[in-house]
Structure 1
Amino acid sequence: MSDSILAPAVLETERLLLRAPAPEDVGPIFEICQDPEIQRWTVVPSPYRPEDAEFFVHKLAADGWRTGRYPSWCVFEKATGALVGTQSLADRGPGSAEVGYWAAPAARGRGFTVEALLAVCRWGVAERGLRRIEWTAYVGNEPSRAVARRAGFTMEGTLRSFAPQRGQWRDVWMGSLLATEVPSA
């Protein structure tokens, strides 16, 4: 992935529609990010304010697509139109990117995050030429690790004092999915 203009990609699976965050998503993102588990396990601000959702949609996600370095998607259930999560793919150097995701509390346990994650991984390999997709989560985030494992990621180990969260360096688990391991749709 590189610093080049990237048109936002729309991805579809059997049950989901993934598209770039839009102004109408600010309210639902704000509401969902009130969830204590999202604040506990991600780098979203805590407390999460309306201006944080505005920043995500209008600055972080928009710049991520514009530069090609951080494409992000809102994930919607086709049957209901409900926002069920987000996905992102952060550039980590030539041929490599890191996935990130959260799931709305009401959508957990339904396989949506795995389904969306695999769509993003397939897109990254096909459209961005990725050879390696990385996953990290703060140690203890068992739900995120379960999603990564179900998507086929190989757990590689624990990185000590690796990632910051609200001024504290935390240990993380690391996993990867190689291009040759991404299952077809």
Structure 2
Amino acid sequence: MGSVASSFPERIELAGEGLVLRDWTTEDLAAMPELFDHPDIAYWTPIVSPFGAAAARARLDRARELRAEGTAILLAITVDGGAPLGEVMLRRAPEGTELGYAVGPAHRGQGLAVRAVRVLAGYAFDELGAEQVVLELEAENAASAAVAAKAGFELLDVPLITGEEKGRPFALQTWGLRRP
């Protein structure tokens, strides 16, 4: 088991499943509100809402801080390294390696989340030595539950994670994928 304090590489680009997952850049700032300023994303994720230019700048800065701390990686989902279509996240937590994702409303229905999660899970297994990666999802979020199942995750028999975000209570199920 690797040390949690070990750092992430300064730059990351992962290719696979017809995608290129890459670092967010300042060139992406203009595209971020189109991806993240949406009622679905406001409801189901902790991403700030409304999401405008200031939120985009804050998210880019935070992504860089989390990377430097060795806590999390936030990568843009692209098909060719160009325009961002969404985001995939890997977070190291005491309870394990957690993945997450958000796909822009205009880019849904193309399997982007499923493919991005599989690529990032492969990175967690191969490069970080993770034994298992998890997704924490609300049971009512049918689209995310479908992504988890299609990506090969299984619902784990563990207690729900409850809390409150943006004034709304939530209960998260934990889905897991073991190292192949």
Do they superpose with TM above 0.5?
Answer: yes
Normalising to structure 1: TM-score of the pair? 0.87
Count of residue pairs brought into register by the alignment: 177
Aligned to 1:91: 92
Q: Where in structure 2 are the equivalents of 1:157-168 lying within 5 Å?
A: 159-160=159-160, 162-168=162-168
- Work out which of the residue numbers 54, 62, 76 in structure 1 matches 2:78: 76
| Counterpart Cα distance in 2 of 1:164 and 1:138 | 12
Normalising to structure 2: TM-score of the pair? 0.89
> C-alpha root-mean-square deviation of aligned residues, in Å?
1.9
Query: Which stretches in structure 2 are left out of the alignment for 5+ residues?
Result: none
Amino acid at match of 1:5: S
| Counterpart Cα distance in 2 of 1:90 and 1:142 | 23
| Counterpart Cα distance in 2 of 1:155 and 1:43 | 22
* 8 Å Cα contact 1:160-1:170 kept in structure 2: no
Q: Does 1:29 align with 2:29?
A: no
Aligned to 2:59: 56
| Counterpart Cα distance in 2 of 1:156 and 1:163 | 19
Task: Provide Cα deviations, 1:59-115, integer angstroms capped at 9, x if missing partner.
Answer: x21012112210110011229x33111001111227x21111001112111111111
Q: 1:47 offset after TM fit, Å?
A: 1.9
State percent identity of aligned pairs: 25
* 8 Å Cα contact 2:22-2:77 kept in structure 1: yes
User: 3-state SS of the aligned residue for 1:71?
Assistant: strand
| Counterpart Cα distance in 1 of 2:86 and 2:162 | 25
Q: Where in structure 2 are the equivalents of 1:143-182 lying within 5 Å?
A: 143-156=143-156, 159-160=159-160, 162-180=162-180
Change (3 A) 1:46 1:157: farther
* 8 Å Cα contact 1:158-1:172 kept in structure 2: no
